[in-house]
């Protein structure tokens, strides 16, 4: 494994033992980093469809008890979702074949809210990351890096979130994200497990070449997009679990992302 699962066990106060040991969740604060899927969920402007939920049953049964069931359909890449490496790399891992240690790992949160407020198309730079490391130490291999831009506050209003709300047109989008040099630094030099952001893409809005996606995918690094709640996480110290629907052969899919943030006991 790229990063031992023992790290997560240490954070939540549980260690391997011959017999079952209860997980002590009093030692962590659980933070949901996921937007719910519903009729307002945002998708890439060129997506041919949206999230649809159909009622199959809802109400009393002949036996006198209540029963409900639903059917849903959705494109893979909308709402809080995962990009599998095959999304931008021929032969890359599909959703069902991404190693779990790329999906459950210590988190590093890079705060660029000030830069993004000044420049809607801001791209994270290598210099930003070098400054982060001076303040917080080296970004460890196997970390899940999360870019906090503050953009999730704009969800689910398409125009402020995406920069444009023209149906079927992705040519005039504006939002911040990773830059190419930062992506290469994280993927190639720091060998991180995954890249995530609280925006619609790990490439910034005006991108047409999607270099960050391509750099990450070629190295087997998945992406996590449309996250929320990153302001509640420390720069380091949390553990993130990002488990997508296990779609065989998929290029991505909806994902529930949760952070475990250590807390000090009184």
Tracing tokens 């909806």 back to the chain, one arrives at 254
Core vs surface per residue 174-183: b (16+ CB within 10 A) or e? ebbbbbbebb
Q: Answer yes or no: 213 catalytic.
A: no
Task: Give me the tens of pLDDT residue by residue for the chain, a chain 266 residues long.
Answer: 444 444 555 555 544 445 556 667 889 999 999 999 999 999 999 999 999 999 999 999 999 999 999 999 999 999 999 999 999 999 999 999 999 999 999 999 999 999 999 999 999 999 999 999 999 999 999 999 999 999 999 999 999 999 999 999 999 999 999 999 999 999 999 999 999 999 999 999 999 999 999 999 999 999 999 999 999 999 999 999 999 999 999 999 999 999 999 997 66
pLDDT at 32: 98
- E strand spans, 131-233: 144-148, 177-178, 194-197, 223-225
What 3-state class would DSSP assign to 51? coil
Beta strand pairing status for 104-111 and 81-83?
unpaired
Instruction: Considering the candidates 77, 81, 87, 213, report the single residue annotated as catalytic.
Output: 87
pLDDT for the residue numbered 5: 45
pTM of the model: 0.92
List, in sequence order, every residue forming a beta bridge with 196; answer none if it has no partner: 146, 224
Q: Residues near 196 by Cβ (< 8 Å), separated by ≥ 6? A: 144, 145, 146, 147, 202, 223, 224, 225, 227, 240, 242, 257
Where are the domains positioned within the chain? 6-16+26-36+77-262
pLDDT of 4 reads: 44
pLDDT at 22: 64
- Tell me the C-alpha to C-alpha distance, in Å, between residue 120 and each of 116, 128, 238: 5, 17, 28
CA nearest 240: which of 1, 14, 8, 6? Answer: 8
Q: What CATH number was assigned to the domain covering residues 6-16+26-36+77-262?
A: 3.50.30.50
pLDDT score of 21: 60
């Amino acid at each position: 494994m790229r990063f031992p699962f023992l790290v997560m066990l240490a954070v939540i106060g549980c260690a391997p033992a011959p017999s079952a040991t209860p997980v002590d969740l009093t030692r962590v604060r659980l933070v949901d980093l996921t937007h719910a899927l519903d009729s307002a969920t945002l998708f890439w402007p060129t997506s041919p469809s949206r999230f649809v939920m159909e009622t199959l049953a809802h109400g009393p049964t002949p036996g006198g008890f209540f029963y409900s069931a639903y059917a849903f359909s959705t494109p893979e890449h909308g709402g809080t979702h995962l990009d599998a490496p095959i999304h931008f790399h021929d032969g890359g891992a599909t959703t069902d074949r991404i190693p779990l240690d790329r999906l459950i790992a210590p988190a590093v949160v890079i705060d660029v809210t000030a830069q993004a407020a000044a420049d809607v198309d801001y791209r994270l730079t290598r210099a930003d990351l070098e400054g982060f490391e001076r303040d917080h130490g080296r970004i460890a291999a196997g970390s899940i890096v999360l870019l906090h831009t503050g953009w999730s506050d704009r969800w689910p209003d398409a125009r402020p979130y995406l920069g444009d709300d023209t149906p079927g047109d992705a040519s005039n989008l504006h939002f911040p994200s990773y830059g190419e040099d930062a992506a290469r630094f994280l993927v190639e030099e720091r060998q991180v497990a995954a890249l995530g952001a609280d925006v619609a893409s790990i490439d910034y809005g005006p991108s047409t070449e999607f270099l960050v996606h391509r750099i990450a995918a070629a190295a087997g690094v998945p992406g996590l997009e449309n996250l929320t709640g990153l302001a509640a996480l420390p720069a380091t110290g949390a553990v993130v679990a990002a488990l997508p629907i296990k779609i065989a052969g998929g290029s991505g899919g909806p994902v529930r992302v949760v952070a475990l943030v250590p807390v000090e006991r009184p």
